[in-house]
Chains A and B, each alone.
Chain A
Amino acid sequence: MIQPRIRILAAALAGLALLTGCSKSGNGPAAAADTIKIGEFASLTGKEAAFGQSSHKGTELAIEQLNAAGGLLGKKIEFVYEDNRSTPGESATIAKKLITRDKIVALLGEVASGRSLEAAPIAQASQIPMISPSSTNPKVTETGDYIFRVCFIDPFQGKLLAQFAKKTLKAGKVAVFSDVSAPYSVGLAQFFRESFLADGGQIVSEQKYTGGDKDFKAQLTAIKGTKPDAIIVPGYYTDVGLIVAQARQLGITVPLFGGDGWEAPELLQIAGAEALEGTYYSTHFSPESTEPLAQKFVAAFKAKYSGETPDAMAALGYDSVMVLADAIKRAGSTDGPKVRDALASTRDFPGATGATTLDAKRDATKPAVIITVKDGKFQYVETIAP
């Protein structure tokens, strides 16, 4: 009975070799270079699909617009994207595939710092520039000089929120309620804490939740007992909506505030306008922004995606493409090192999320805006320059 089994095994191994190995020989120079291939890896399914899909839509819109205007360097852009299912391990494989098989000239991604960190070393080693739309962990760009991001990083946002709490909200005692499953939230909470304590503030309570939880009453009740002047919730809108609503239900009347993770039109619906009165958040971008570029982006997004309002992830996804396109144009080529240098010298690039400058550490320095909710609508409060 050994024979049939060995045959099956041999067939399986042969199949493996054929399917993935056969293109080995087809590795010539970027085949018939009449298109420019740009790659993206995103979480289009799985637990963080909401953010991946959003970012992807922004990216897709940008590429469509560029192609409609004639493409880049006279060639059409071919958009190659893959889904990493919000699962660790996939992004590395995808990065390898996109770089070695699809021959992309640049890599876009990812929303989550963890998955960005997974692919970054591969892009760095292959000298392919990588731009993350919204990973905020400092370590991402520290991977190497080919890794960039178009969003501001946690230390900046944490500091500005600390200042905002102290000066504008006049809060001496703050409670911190962070998402323990999201590096973004943990990082932002940490930098806020450092800044706030250094400024003389007091943290009266530190509670945690796991992203995806629906019931926060237990923790909020505990926070309520410590009587804070304000509560910072440095998490994602998917949870913040419920948190704010439940806080109000429990009779918590002090202001709640947070970072750009709050930015999404759904926030208003999930929490309800009433609950959101007197809450604040910092962000790169707001659909209510009167900046002409932001307005244009919102209109184009709504037109392409059946009236859907874009959130911050979508806007950043859009900007990651536009910044890349600008760099390619300035470099005059798609050669990795040249594009990298062009990216590194990006100054005040007009993006949908504001004037973007990529600093020496390849992070974006851009102003942040503070938004609040008044009379059932998002309202701009102030801009904080870096």
Chain B
Amino acid sequence: MTELLQQLINGLALGAIYALIALGYTMVYGVLRFINFAHSDIFMVGAFSGYYLARAVPQASVMAGVFVLLGSMAICALLGVIIEKLAYRPLRGRSTLTALITAIGVSLLLQNLGQRIFGANPKSFPTLFPQHYFQFDSGLVIASNQILVFVVTLVLLFALRHIVLNTRIGTAMRALSFNPTAASLVGVNNDRVISFTFALGSALAAAGGILYASNYPSIDPLMGTLPGLKAFVAAVLGGIGNIAGAAVGGLVLGLVETTVVALGGSTYRDAVAFAVLILILLLRPNGLLGKRQAEKV
């Protein structure tokens, strides 16, 4: 029973991280209909930013943690804006596949630059937030970092929801997602809104990176690929473009993956995410929380 409970906690914690990364994907896709392949590598840059920023602050204190978290979110927001301006903006209006290939190119570039600049050796991520392990008599262990992931994900989830639903720029983002031409006709500055969307998405990726690295303190330039892909699956699972969906999708995927591993299929764990993706696209293409959308011709 304890083992089951432990696996449950593990699954939820893993899922919460996927949810956090998925938020960024789903948002960019929701507004721009574009899968930002490089999202997973911005996640990686976020983790590395945290690694270097952490040198300026004492370890294991809440202040340090918050500083590094916000710092790397800012760095990655900037990075996201730069990437959008240089690589994606020239492709506005072209086919989505061109944009997808470019995104793959950016992703490869970030990975290889990372290996060159940071070195390929995994580095140990410093302790940012104070670490506690809550041990129960039954043998159950919950790490404070796991709780932290839940808390931060929830906070960011609500913050994002607030921005999208209750602010001017959020309304502009939603307008853009419905029809970019119409949006610009009513006075929305598309360029600015898109930059903002990328900045926001990248900041979320960075937060994901910091929390991921806090739970699995070994970072390397290729760390983003798999979590990124799985987070994308989570976003689709929950209904892409749907913020709450990203959270639900993430948790479900985390649980499914942990279950598969617990049942002895750990070597198939990566394939699980893809199998889930294929299943959901076949059975319920709009995701668990998505709405049916008829395609107009």
Contacts and interface: CB of A to CB of B under 8 A. Distances in A.
Contact between chain A and chain B defined by CB under 8 Å: yes
Contacts of B120: 45, 49-50, 52-53
Contacts of B216: 214-215, 242
Given A218-B7, A249-B143, 11 more contacts: A53-B119, A208-B267, A210-B269, A212-B222, A215-B14, A217-B7, A224-B139, A241-B124, A249-B133, A266-B121, A270-B218
Interface stretch (B151-159, B243-251, B258-266): B258-266
B141 A266 contact: no
A221 B3 contact: yes
Interface in A198-217: 207-210, 212-215, 217
B6 A245 contact: no
B115 interface: yes
B120 to A, nearest CB: 3
B218 to A, nearest CB: 5
A250 interface: yes
B6 A242 contact: no
Interface in B214-254: 215-218, 220, 222-223, 226
B135 interface: yes
A250 B134 CA distance: 10
A219 interface: yes
A225 B140 CA distance: 12
B26 interface: no
Interface of B: 3, 6-7, 10, 14, 112, 115, 119-124, 133, 135, 139, 141, 143, 212, 215-218, 220, 222-223, 226, 258, 261-262, 264, 266-267, 269-270
Contacts of A347: none
A47 B269 CA distance: 18
Nearest to A53: B120
Given A269-B124, A270-B122, A238 B115 contact: no
Contact of A50 (B121, B217, B269): B121
B123 A225 contact: no
Contacts of A215: 10, 14, 216, 258
Q: Indicate the size class of the contact surface on chain A.
A: 35 or more
B6 A217 contact: yes
13 contacts: A50-B120, A52-B120, A53-B120, A207-B264, A214-B212, A218-B261, A221-B10, A225-B3, A238-B218, A249-B133, A266-B123, A266-B124, A270-B218
Contacts of A222: 3, 262, 264
Given A54-B121, A242-B218, A249-B141, A219 B261 contact: yes
Interface of A: 45, 47, 49-50, 52-54, 180-181, 207-210, 212-215, 217-219, 221-222, 224-225, 238, 241-242, 245, 249-251, 264, 266, 269-270
Contacts of B119: 53
Most chain B beta carbons < 10 A, residue from A47, A214, A250: A214
B267 A210 contact: yes
B124 A218 contact: no
Contacts, number: 92
Given A47-B222, A210-B267, A238-B218, A221 B7 contact: yes
A201 to B, nearest CB: 22
A217 B10 contact: yes
Contacts of A221: 3, 6-7, 10, 262
B124 A270 contact: yes
Nearest to A311: B121
Contacts of B269: 210, 213
Contacts of B7: 217-218, 221
Contacts of B217: 242, 245, 270
A102 to B, nearest CB: 24
B262 A218 contact: yes
A213 B124 CA distance: 15
B266 A241 contact: no
B275 to A, nearest CB: 16
A219 B266 contact: yes
A206 B14 CA distance: 23
Given A210-B269, A222-B262, A270-B218, A49 B122 contact: no
Contact of B266 (A209, A214, A250, A264): A209
B122 to A, nearest CB: 5
**Across chains A and B, which 8 residue pairs bring their CB atoms closest together, nearest first?**
A49-B120, A269-B124, A214-B216, A218-B261, A270-B124, A217-B10, A50-B121, A218-B262
Contacts of A241: 122, 124, 218
A333 to B, nearest CB: 37
Contacts of B135: 251
Nearest to A264: B121
B10 A214 contact: no
A85 to B, nearest CB: 10
Contact of A251 (B121, B122, B139): B139
A81 to B, nearest CB: 16
Contacts of B122: 50, 238, 241, 266, 270
Contacts of B264: 207, 222
Contacts of A218: 7, 10, 258, 261-262, 266
Nearest to A245: B217
B134 to A, nearest CB: 11
A242 B212 CA distance: 13
A180 B112 CA distance: 26
A140 B121 CA distance: 26
A22 B226 CA distance: 43
A150 B269 CA distance: 35
A52 B123 CA distance: 16
A47 B14 CA distance: 23
B107 to A, nearest CB: 14
Contacts of B261: 218-219
B214 to A, nearest CB: 12
